[in-house]
């Protein structure tokens, strides 16, 4: 009986430690983020106000992967993925840029937005997928930077 009481007390004392252990989803995200850092991508959780016309509401804050831009006068643009493979601008006009479309075709369905401003190019991603998806994202950001 004493052994049963001691085991029960130990179980009650140690059970909160199991709550501190990250879930598989959290561990997978951390592995993706560490790999992104290793290959030179900057990553941050960025709050976003998403357009009301998106079919599914992306998370806010959302994982933003970015690279600095090169060139003296880079083009400024922003495209959202309305549904898998369909990229639209803020007025919901489809992307017709022949330079961007082949790169956008390599992205998974859970990439919500790709934008470029004067200083950086950023991609907003749901962080679901394998390391190969991260390689595709890195290739896109390097090509468009």
**pLDDT bracket for residue 91 (50, 70, 90):** very high
Given pLDDT bands bounded at 50, 70 and 90, which one contains residue 8?
confident
With a cut of 80, say whether residue 11 has pLDDT above it: no
Residue 7 lies in a domain: no
Q: What's the order of all strands across the beta sheet hosting 62-68?
A: 42-46, 62-68, 120-125, 111-116, 77-83, 86-88
Query: How much is the pTM?
Result: 0.80
| pLDDT value of position 144 | 86
In a domain, 10, yes or no: no
pLDDT at 15: 74
The boundaries of the domain holding residue 48 are: 25-144
* Residue 17 placed within a domain: no
Look at residue 89 in the predicted model and tell me its pLDDT: 92
pLDDT at 46 over 80: yes
Could you report the per-residue pLDDT of 96-110, keeping only the tens digit for each? 989 999 999 999 888
Q: Is 18 contained in some domain?
A: no
Round to whole Å and give the CA distance between 137 and 125. 9
Number of structural domains found in the chain: 1
Range from 19-23, 126-130, 131-135 carrying the lowest mean pLDDT: 19-23
């Amino acid at each position: 009986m004493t052994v049963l009481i001691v085991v029960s007390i130990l179980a009650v004392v140690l059970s909160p430690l199991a709550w501190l252990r990250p879930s598989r989803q959290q561990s997978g995200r951390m592995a993706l983020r560490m790999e992104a850092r290793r290959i030179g991508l900057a990553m941050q959780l960025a709050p976003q106000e998403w357009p009301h016309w998106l079919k599914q509401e992306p998370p806010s804050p959302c994982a933003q992967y970015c690279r600095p831009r090169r060139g003296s006068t880079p083009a400024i643009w922003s495209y959202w993925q309305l549904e898998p493979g369909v990229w639209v601008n803020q007025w919901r006009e489809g992307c017709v840029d022949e330079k961007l479309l082949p790169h956008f075709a390599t992205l998974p369905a859970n990439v919500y937005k790709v934008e470029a401003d004067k200083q950086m190019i950023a991609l907003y991603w749901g962080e679901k997928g394998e390391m190969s998806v991260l390689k595709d994202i890195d290739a896109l950001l390097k090509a468009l930077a």
